[in-house]
Structure formats: structure tokens, C-alpha cells
């Protein structure tokens, strides 16, 4: 099996990817079935002298079959997808770390609440296009925007969410592997949309502690 | 309307000189549905050339980022021939806007709706010929306004064809001032034009069918246009109102979509997609209708499951109102609502599947002739299959988190919307004899099809791969991203294919104009088809039939019927057993 998607480093990414491959194989099979039949018919039933086309207006059994079977497959597929969707978008697990990300033309402003755990206080620290998190811990991200709609995209974490001016949108992810991962903006936001990107640094727990100490040396 | 009309007359005066009155009434302010159809065709083909040229520029930038455009560098003087990012945004915005509103709609709905509805239902003209003329000219004014946007300071709209607020609502965010205003005004005007067309189509189909033309004897293309007209009637006003709200936000200081004044950016998305999803079916239903006509005619076989074909279009029309949220899964809309939109979107794939299987059923056991229109119809079926299947990937919300706003989406909608170009070529080549009284050249037609089909797939299929690799849509330069570097050779390849796809259209243009003036004279029924338009002369005179309009005796797809010797049985031909008996009382439907 060829891997079409970038490496997955998110706790829920595996579930997304299995749904992806499920859909991939189902639609792939349908594609080859339909195209195969079409080519077969085109060859077999090409015009030849002396043969008349079959006079037929349809076949009820077949038509019911090819209505009901796709409908069932699609409804089951939907049912299978609901839990994953709910897990990613509806239930934010309890977490120690909340990060505020503000989109603005054409940067991500990443704000940490600092030792007091509250946003809007003196010890907040903001980084441009840089986000640091510990590995294997759920992280809550609150998305805001200063101007137009942006979209925070973390391809490796199977994460995408628009940042909409006037709204605070809470989301979460949990990285499962240390490293540096790109955070492009996925929603057209103006002439600087292309190239608007930041990086996510996933640290080990110790490294992350270290990083926090460096940023807030006094506490 | 009188100002713009005056201008249009003035332009044409220079060509026509003294024969002014006759010429104007015949070719410009005609109320003949066939002339209006042809006018829509030429409007659409002209815009196709403009929109296609924009696409070539887009592909140039993606294939060879930030290098001067060969031959057209003078368009970007300030940057020494390199397309700057703000111009790039303008290019894709206007490309999509022109293609959707000024190519597919005028050709598939405007041209073929006008040309075919009266001829295929056995009417002498539309119900409201003057309204019809007004509809065309209003649409043409909309087109002029849209093109004018390129020439105002700040350039044309650059916020995407979806014009998401607040980007589209505040000049400072894009630097585009009147360009965006004209975009709104043009779509407003076009909305009015479509409304007039829709009312006309609906009235005509309901009231003006020939004797014997029951609803279930209507050709499927008429069903498709009828349903499209109903969608137009309800969907377009939503856009028409939304663009006015947007214009008010821009010009009058209202805050419909601006959070600063208490407005809601997502309201725009809801309005836009509540229009937008029915809109995609407005684009594709006529293509499906045409495909049914052509497949049946060239397979010499009745359409498989006529009623299922009609009902599935009706189902699509209903369902298309409750799926719009699938464009907004990650917009910040409540995720619970996302689930119900996932379900409705999955369900709308079912009638699409029914149509595809019935097309296969039509080929099954046929006696298939591979004429140019048939090749294009088969091309449409194959691209539609790919686009329909990729729709299921995106309908799946968890998967859509990843592929939303990537090139996967671009791949999907090019397979379905740009795929309509095959249905369009099928229609033009199929009805050309009726429209212009001449037959198009088969050889050129086949060469054009083969090249278009190959380069279409080489251009658009790799977009799936790019999208899965994470490449965002609407980016100006993929090489700005480290993680996309590895994909750049694919972009390069696609751009070359796209340029060749563009170049292949020369065969169509050459064939079209050559056949228009020098093609072989067409018989009345060159394809030996059943529907009523083929019982009129090629091209039909004003009023369509010299004698009384036809009477309908059966359904439109009686090919290879055992009741007659030939392999077709026109809708208007009395049953051979009854001719001479002087009675038509026993003639049944299909
Ligand atoms: C088989 C049924 C179809 C399904 C399940 C489906 C599903 C979807 C979904 C879920 C999206 C949104 C994806 C995203 O932005 O993340 C989408 C986008 C789109 N679809 Fe479809 N689709 C189907 C058929 C069609 C057809 C027939 C057309 C047009 C003729 C069409 C045209 C479009 C367009 C233009 C967009 C993108 C709009 C934009 O964002 O610019 N789709 N489709
Ligand atoms: Cu952006
Ligand atoms: Cu849609």
C-alpha cells in the first residue's frame, strides 16, 4: 500500500487515516468496477452490421439493487465516521496546556498564558509563527483572528480549523512524536496567504520543561 | 436597460451599415429562442477563451513559480513579467467566476435551454419571447460589468469565487476596491437575468408541450433543464441578495458580515453555500440530461430506467438544499451539525450513482456508434464518476479535516465542473446540425476529443495526489513551503499538460468555424434520433415547423423497437399500422 498522506503524528490521526483508507478502497473498487464495465460494454456492444440493439427499458431488480446497495454502504460509512468526528471536534479532553493562536495577515500569533495560567495578564508571552508543545499530552488550542478568516492547518496532525474573526474556537490535538512540523494557513486570507506558515515544535516532556524555564526565567 | 442596449447597437452598426433594421431584429434583439440560444452560445464560448487564458496564467505560475510569463509579460509590467501574488489571487478568482457564471451557465442552461426546450416539446417559441431577449441582454450586461473589473484601479476581485467575508467585505484586506464591487454588481445583474430565464423555462415546459407530450414522454434533457430552472428560481435569489448585502457592507457601512459591527462572517458562508450547492447541480443537471440523450441515440437503445432517471434528478434537486454545510465542516460551525450534513451529503451521492449505473445499463446490449458527440458523452460519464467518488471522500468529515482547502478539492470540482466541458462539446457537436444547418467534421472532432480527454486527465488527476500530500489550494508559490518541494515536479507536469489541453482546443475552434461556413449541409435528422427537434428543418425557421407543430405518439427513446423496421421510431411518427386507418386513437405511450 502506498502512503498518500504525510506522516501522521497525532493521537487521533490513526482513526482519520483508517477512514481515509476505507473510503479509498471502497471508491477505488467502485471506480474499477464502473470503468471496467463501461469499457467492456463499449467493446462488446460496438456497432456491427446485422446486429440490432436489445430493446429494453430497464430492469427493476437491478435498479433496486444499485440503489439500495450504495445507500447502505454510504449510511454505514457515515455511522463509522461519526465517533471519530465527535472525538476530534466535539470532546476536548482535560488538559494542562492551553495555547491561544491568533491569525492575522499574514502570521500566526501564538500566545501562552505563562505561570499564572491566565490569558491577558503580564506574564503572557507571544511568539510569531512558533508553537511549542510536549509530546503525548493533549493540548488545547483556542483560535481567534484579528482580521480575516485564516485556517490553522497541521498536516501531520490531521488538524485543520478556521480562525474566524469575532469567534473563539477551542480545539485540541495530541502529538505522538517529537519533531518540527509545519503549520500553513489553509484559507485564502489575502495576497500574503501563500507563504503564511509557522512551525510546531514537539518536545519531550523534559525538553518542554526546559523551554518553559527559558521563556519564563523568573518563576 | 436602454443605455447598454444603445451601446451594443452602436457597436454592431459599424458592421451592418444600411441593413440595420433587419439585421438588428434577426441577430441582436431577436426574440426567436433559437437565436437567443446561439447568442448565449457565443457569449459562453467567448468567455471560455478568456477564462481559459486565465487558467493558463495560473498554471504558468504554479509550474514555473515567479518566472516571467512568456509572451504575456507585458500584462505584469511592474514586476518585469512575473505574476505578483495579488494578481494571482485575481486570476483564480476571475477564472472560477467566469467559468461558472459566464461559461457553463450561459452554454448549458442559456444556450441549450433556449434552443432545445421549444424544439423538443413541440412549441413554436418560449412562453415569453420578449422576456427571453431581456434575459439574454441582461446577462450580457452582467458579463461586460464582470470583464470591466479588470480595468479599474486595484484590479478585479481577488477573494476567491466564494468571496468569503471579511476578506471580500473590506477593501484594505485585499487592496481591491471597485473590482470587488463590480463583482457583486455583475452577479446581481446576472441573478436577475437567470430569474427571468428560469420563469420562462418553467412556464414553457408546463404550458406549451405539444399534444401527446406528457411529462413522462419528455426527453431527459428537458427534465434536466426544467429541474434546473426550478433550482435557479430558488437558489439564485439567495446569491443575488447576498451580493447586495456584501456590497452594502463595502459601500454603505452596514455590518452583515463584519464582526466589528456585530455581524457574522459565517452568515456569508451559509448564504453563499445555500446557493452554492444547488448551483453545482444547476451546472451539472443539464450535462446529465444531454448525456442521456446522446448515450441512448448512439447506442440505438432506449435509455435504461427512464423513470428512475427522472426521479433521481428530482431527488438530487430536493437533497441539494440540505447539504450546503459540507463546505463548512471546519469553518467553526457547530460540529454536531456537521454530522447531519455528512449524512445528507452521503445520501445525495445515491441518485448520482443511480444515474451512472443507468447510463451503463443503456450501453449494455446496445449497438454503439462512436461519433464525436458520443465520445464526449462517454468522456463526461468517466469524469463524473471520478468526481462523484471523490465527493464521498470529502463528505466523510474526519477525512475532510485533512483534505478541505487542499488541491484534492480542486481535483474534485474540476472533475465534476470542468468535466461538464465534455457534455458541452457533446451538445455542441450533437445539435450543431440543427443549430447551424451544417455538420461538423468528424475527423477533427475525434482528434479534439482524444487530445482533450488525455490532457484533461493528465492536468487534473494529479491534483488528487497533491491534495493528499497536503498542498493547499489558492497558494501562489508551492516552493515557499519546504514540505511541498518534493511535489513540485508534479506541478510542473500538470502545467505542461494544462498548456497542451489549452492548445488542443484549437482543433475545436477550427472545426467550429470551418463547419459553420463550409461544413456539409445537414439533413433534418442526421443522427436518426427520435426527439421532436429532428422533425423540424435544419436549421428550423422562425416558428420552428412550417406546417402545424408535431403531435407526440410515444416516448423519446424508442430505439430498435420491434414495432418498426428501422432502428428508431420518432416521437411524432404515427404508428405504421395506423397510418391509412385515419385514426390515432390507439397509439400508446412507451
Ligand atoms: C456525488 C456527489 C457529490 C458529493 C458527495 C460532493 C461532496 C462535496 C463536498 C463534501 C465538498 C466540500 C469539500 C470541502 O471544501 O472540504 C464539495 C465541494 C465542491 N463540489 Fe462536490 N460533491 C458531489 C458532487 C458534485 C457535483 C456534481 C458538482 C458540480 C457539478 C460538485 C461541485 C463542487 C464544487 C464546485 C466544490 C468546491 C467549491 C469550492 O470550495 O470552491 N460536486 N463537494
Ligand atoms: Cu491564509
Ligand atoms: Cu456542495
* Per-residue 3-state assignment (H helix, E strand, C coil) for A29-61: HHHHHHHHHHHHHHHHCECCCCCCCCCCCCCHH
Report d(CA B216, CA B223) in Å as an integer.
Answer: 9
Evaluate whether A16 touches B521 at the Cβ level (below 8 Å): no
Neighbours of B42 (CB within 10 A): 12
Displacement of CA B187 from its chain's centroid (Å): 16
Divide the 219 residues of chain A into consecutive groups of 10 and give the mean pLDDT of each group: 84 96 97 98 96 94 95 96 95 95 97 93 95 97 97 98 97 97 97 97 97 88
Mean pLDDT, chain B, as a whole number? 93
Q: Which of A45, A77, A85 sits opposite B365 (nearest CB)?
A: A45
Is the CB of B404 inside a 6 Å radius of any atom of ligand 1? yes
- pLDDT higher than threshold 80 for residue B10: no
Cβ–Cβ below 8 Å for A164 and B366: no
Residues from chain A contacting residue B357 (CB–CB below 8 Å) = 34, 62-63, 66
Based on its alpha-carbon atoms, the radius of gyration of chain B, rounded to whole angstroms, reads: 24
Q: Using CA of residue B281, residue B286, residue B289, residue B295, what is the dihedral sign? A: negative
How many angstroms is it from B231 CA to the middle of ligand 3?
14
Report d(CA B390, CA B404) in Å as an integer.
Answer: 12
Residue ranges in B122-207 assigned as alpha helix (H): 129-148, 171-174, 178-207
For domain B5-535, the question of CATH label 1.10.1270.20 is answered with no
Evaluate whether A124 touches A112 at the Cβ level (below 8 Å): yes
The distance between the two most distant Cα atoms of chain A, rounded to a whole number of Å, is 95
Which ligand ends up closest to the CA of B280?
Answer: 1
Q: How far is CA A161 from CA A150, B336, B396, in A?
A: 9, 15, 16
- pLDDT higher than threshold 90 for residue B89: yes
Is the CB of B349 inside a 6 Å radius of any atom of ligand 1? yes
Evaluate whether B330 touches A83 at the Cβ level (below 8 Å): no
Classified as helix, coil or strand, B406 is: strand
What's the confidence (pLDDT) of residue B579?
62
Residues from chain A contacting residue B344 (CB–CB below 8 Å) = none
Q: How far is CA B406 from CA B253, B393, B450, B528, B580, in A?
A: 34, 13, 29, 46, 66
What's the confidence (pLDDT) of residue B11?
39
What's the confidence (pLDDT) of residue A74?
96
Q: What are phi and psi of A152, to 5 degrees?
A: -80, 115
Which ligand ends up closest to the CA of B164?
Answer: 1
Residue ranges in B420-487 assigned as alpha helix (H): 420-436, 442-468
Nearest CA to ligand 1 atom 8: B391
Report the nearest atom of ligand 1 relative to the CA of B419. Answer: 30
Is the CB of B132 inside a 6 Å radius of any atom of ligand 1? no
Give the residue with greater pLDDT, B578 vs B117: B117
Nearest CA to ligand 1 atom 19: B413
ipTM of the complex: 0.96
A104 CA to chain B: closest CA distance, Å? 11
- pLDDT higher than threshold 80 for residue B585: no
Report the nearest atom of ligand 1 relative to the CA of B330. Answer: 16
Q: What are phi and psi of B179, to 5 degrees?
A: -55, -45
A51 CA to chain B: closest CA distance, Å? 7
What's the confidence (pLDDT) of residue A7?
95
Nearest CA to ligand 1 atom 29: B280
Displacement of CA B67 from its chain's centroid (Å): 33
Report d(CA B138, CA B194) in Å as an integer.
Answer: 9
Q: Which of B339, B468, B474 sits opposite A4 (nearest CB)?
A: B468
What's the confidence (pLDDT) of residue A206?
96
| 8-state DSSP, B371 | -
Shortest CA distance from A89: residue in chain B: B335
Nearest CA to ligand 1 atom 5: B391
- pLDDT higher than threshold 90 for residue B322: yes
Q: How far is CA A1 from CA A22, B465, B478, B533, in A?
A: 12, 15, 27, 52
Which ligand ends up closest to the CA of B385?
Answer: 1
Q: What are phi and psi of B441, to 5 degrees?
A: -75, 125
Residues from chain A contacting residue B367 (CB–CB below 8 Å) = 45-48, 51-53
How many angstroms is it from A187 CA to the middle of ligand 3?
17
Q: Using CA of residue B296, residue B300, residue B303, residue B304, what is the dihedral sign? A: negative
Evaluate whether B114 touches B126 at the Cβ level (below 8 Å): yes
Is the CB of B472 inside a 6 Å radius of any atom of ligand 1? no
Is the CB of B368 inside a 6 Å radius of any atom of ligand 1? no
Residue A191: asked if its preceding bond is cis (omega within 30°), the reply is no
Is the CB of B163 inside a 6 Å radius of any atom of ligand 1? no
B195 CA to chain A: closest CA distance, Å? 31
Report d(CA B140, CA B44) in Å as an integer.
Answer: 10
B355 CA to chain A: closest CA distance, Å? 10
Shortest CA distance from A144: residue in chain B: B332
Report the nearest atom of ligand 1 relative to the CA of B281. Answer: 30
- Each domain of chain B, given as residue ranges in start order, spans 5-535
Residues from chain A contacting residue B84 (CB–CB below 8 Å) = 191
What's the confidence (pLDDT) of residue B15?
38
Q: Which of A27, A89, A151 sits opposite B405 (nearest CB)?
A: A151
Is the CB of B279 inside a 6 Å radius of any atom of ligand 1? no
Report d(CA B197, CA B228) in Å as an integer.
Answer: 11
Mean pLDDT of B50-77: 96
Give A68-71 contacts, CB < 8 A, sequence gap 24+: A70/B349, A70/B350, A70/B353, A71/B347, A71/B350
* Beta bridge mates, A169: A143
Displacement of CA B3 from its chain's centroid (Å): 29
Q: How far is CA B214 from CA B23, B146, B590, in A?
A: 38, 41, 11
Tens digit of each residue's pLDDT (9 = 90 or more) over B137-162: 999 999 999 999 999 999 999 999 99
Tens digit of each residue's pLDDT (9 = 90 or more) over B128-138: 999 999 999 99
What's the confidence (pLDDT) of residue B27?
84
Classified as helix, coil or strand, A151 is: strand
With residue A159 as reference, give the H or E element that holds it: strand A159-163
Q: Which of A34, A90, A184 sits opposite B360 (nearest CB)?
A: A34
Of B278, B416, B467, the one to substitute when testing ligand 1's pocket (max ligand atoms within 8 A of C-beta) is B416
User: How many contacts, defined by CB atoms under 8 Å, are there between A and B?
Assistant: 271
Report the nearest atom of ligand 1 relative to the CA of B353. Answer: 1
How many angstroms is it from B389 CA to the middle of ligand 1?
10
Neighbours of B548 (CB within 10 A): 9
What's the confidence (pLDDT) of residue B268?
98
What's the confidence (pLDDT) of residue A2?
55
- The 3-state DSSP composition of chain B as helix, strand, coil percent (nearest 5) reads 70, 0, 30
Which ligand ends up closest to the CA of B380?
Answer: 1
Q: What are phi and psi of B184, to 5 degrees?
A: -65, -45
Neighbours of A23 (CB within 10 A): 22
Q: Are strands A107-112 and A138-145 parallel, antiparallel or unpaired?
A: unpaired
Cβ–Cβ below 8 Å for B361 and A62: yes
Residue A106: asked if its preceding bond is cis (omega within 30°), the reply is yes
**What number of H helices and E strands is found in chain A?**
3, 10
- pLDDT higher than threshold 60 for residue B104: yes
Q: Which of A59, A90, A182 sits opposite B482 (nearest CB)?
A: A182
Amino acid at each position: 500500500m502506498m502512503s498518500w498522506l504525510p506522516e501522521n503524528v497525532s493521537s487521533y490521526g490513526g482513526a482519520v487515516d483508517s477512514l481515509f483508507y476505507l473510503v479509498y478502497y471502497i471508491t477505488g473498487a467502485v471506480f474499477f468496477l464502473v470503468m471496467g464495465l463501461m469499457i467492456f460494454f463499449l467493446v462488446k456492444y460496438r456497432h456491427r452490421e446485422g446486429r440490432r440493439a436489445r430493446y429494453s427499458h430497464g430492469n427493476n431488480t437491478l435498479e433496486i439493487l444499485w440503489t439500495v446497495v450504495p445507500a447502505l454502504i454510504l449510511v454505514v460509512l457515515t455511522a463509522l465516521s461519526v465517533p471519530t468526528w465527535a472525538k476530534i471536534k466535539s470532546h476536548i479532553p482535560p488538559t494542562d496546556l492551553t495555547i491561544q493562536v491568533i491569525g492575522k495577515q499574514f502570521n500566526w500569533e501564538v500566545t501562552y498564558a505563562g505561570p499564572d495560567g491566565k490569558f491577558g495578564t503580564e506574564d503572557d508571552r507571544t511568539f510569531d509563527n512558533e508553537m511549542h508543545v510536549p509530546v503525548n499530552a493533549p493540548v488545547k488550542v483556542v483560535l481567534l483572528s484579528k482580521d480575516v478568516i485564516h485556517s490553522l492547518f497541521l498536516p501531520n496532525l490531521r488538524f485543520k480549523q478556521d480562525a474566524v474573526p469575532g469567534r473563539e474556537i477551542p480545539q485540541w490535538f495530541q502529538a505522538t512524536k517529537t519533531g518540527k512540523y509545519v503549520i500553513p494557513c489553509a484559507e485564502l486570507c489575502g495576497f500574503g496567504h501563500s507563504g503564511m506558515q509557522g512551525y510546531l515544535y514537539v518536545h519531550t516532556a523534559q525538553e518542554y520543561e526546559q523551554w518553559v524555564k527559558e521563556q519564563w526565567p523568573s518563576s | 436597460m436602454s443605455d447598454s442596449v444603445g451601446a451594443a447597437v452602436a457597436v454592431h452598426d459599424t458592421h451592418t451599415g444600411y441593413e440595420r433594421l433587419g439585421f438588428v431584429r434577426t441577430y441582436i434583439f431577436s426574440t426567436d429562442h433559437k437565436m437567443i440560444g446561439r447568442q448565449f452560445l457565443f457569449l459562453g464560448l467567448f468567455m471560455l477563451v478568456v477564462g481559459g487564458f486565465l487558467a493558463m496564467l495560473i498554471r504558468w505560475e504554479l509550474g514555473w513559480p515567479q518566472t516571467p510569463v512568456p509572451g504575456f509579460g507585458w500584462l505584469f509590467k511592474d514586476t518585469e513579467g512575473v505574476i505578483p501574488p495579488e494578481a494571482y489571487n485575481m486570476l483564480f478568482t476571475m477564472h472560477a467566476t467566469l467559468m461558472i457564471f459566464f461559461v457553463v451557465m450561459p452554454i448549458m442552461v442559456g444556450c441549450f435551454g433556449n434552443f432545445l426546450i421549444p424544439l423538443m416539446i413541440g412549441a413554436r417559441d418560449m412562453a415569453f419571447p420578449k422576456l427571453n431577449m431581456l434575459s439574454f441582454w441582461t446577462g450580457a450586461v452582467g458579463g461586460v460589468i464582470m470583464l470591466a473589473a479588470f480595468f479599474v484601479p486595484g484590479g478585479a476581485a481577488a477573494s476567491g469565487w466564494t468571496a468569503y467575508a471579511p476578506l471580500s467585505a473590506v477593501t484594505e484586506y485585499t487592496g481591491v476596491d471597485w473590482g470587488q464591487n463590480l463583482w457583486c454588481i455583475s452577479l446581481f445583474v446576472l441573478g436577475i437575468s437567470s430569474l427571468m430565464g428560469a420563469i420562462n423555462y418553467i412556464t414553457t415546459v408546463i404550458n406549451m408541450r405539444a399534444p401527446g407530450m406528457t411529462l413522462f414522454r419528455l426527453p431527459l434533457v428537458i427534465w434536466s433543464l426544467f429541474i434546473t430552472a426550478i433550482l435557479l428560481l430558488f437558489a439564485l435569489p439567495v446569491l443575488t441578495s447576498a451580493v447586495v448585502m456584501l456590497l452594502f457592507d463595502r459601500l454603505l457601512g452596514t455590518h452583515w458580515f463584519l464582526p466589528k459591527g456585530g455581524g457574522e462572517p459565517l452568515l456569508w458562508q451559509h448564504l453563499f453555500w445555500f446557493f452554492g450547492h444547488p448551483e453545482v447541480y444547476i451546472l451539472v443537471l443539464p450535462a446529465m440530461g444531454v448525456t442521456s440523450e446522446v448515450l441512448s441515440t448512439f447506442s440505438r437503445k432506449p435509455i435504461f430506467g427512464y423513470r428512475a432517471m427522472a426521479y433521481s434528478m428530482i431527488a438530487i434537486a430536493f437533497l441539494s438544499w440540505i447539504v450546503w454545510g459540507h463546505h463548512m465542516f471546519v469553518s467553526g460551525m457547530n460540529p454536531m451539525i456537521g454530522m447531519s450534513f455528512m449524512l445528507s451529503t452521503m445520501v445525495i451521492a445515491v441518485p448520482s450513482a443511480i444515474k451512472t449505473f443507468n447510463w451503463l445499463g443503456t450501453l449494455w446490449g446496445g449497438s454503439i456508434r462512436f461519433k464525436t458527440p458520443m465520445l464526449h458523452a462517454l468522456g463526461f460519464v468517466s469524469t463524473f464518476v471520478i468526481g462523484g467518488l471523490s465527493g464521498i471522500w470529502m463528505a466523510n468529515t474526519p477525512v475532510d479535516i485533512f483534505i478541505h482547502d487542499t488541491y484534492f478539492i480542486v481535483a474534485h470540482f474540476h472533475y465534476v465542473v470542468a468535466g461538464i466541458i465534455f457534455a458541452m462539446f457533446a451538445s455542441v457537436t450533437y445539435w450543431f446540425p440543427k443549430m447551424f444547418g451544417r455538420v461538423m467534421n468528424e475527423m477533427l472532432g475525434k482528434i479534439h476529443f482524444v487530445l482533450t480527454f488525455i490532457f484533461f486527465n493528465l492536468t487534473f488527476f494529479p491534483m488528487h495526489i497533491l491534495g493528499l500530500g497536503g498542498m493547499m489550494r489558492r497558494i501562489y508559490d508551492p516552493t515557499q513551503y519546504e514540505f511541498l518541494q518534493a511535489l513540485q515536479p508534479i506541478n510542473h507536469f500538470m502545467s505542461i499538460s494544462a498548456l497542451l489541453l489549452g492548445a488542443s482546443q484549437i482543433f475545436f475552434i477550427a472545426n467550429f468555424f470551418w463547419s459553420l461556413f463550409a461544413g456539409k449541409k445537414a439533413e433534418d435528422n442526421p443522427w436518426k434520433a427520435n426527439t421532436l427537434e429532428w422533425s423540424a428543418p435544419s436549421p428550423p425557421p422562425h416558428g420552428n415547423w412550417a406546417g402545424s407543430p408535431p403531435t407526440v405518439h410515444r416516448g423519446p427513446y424508442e430505439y430498435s423497437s420491434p414495432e418498426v423496421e428501422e432502428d428508431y421510431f420518432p416521437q411524432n411518427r404515427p404508428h405504421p399500422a395506423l397510418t391509412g386507418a385515419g385514426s390515432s386513437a390507439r397509439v400508446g405511450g412507451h
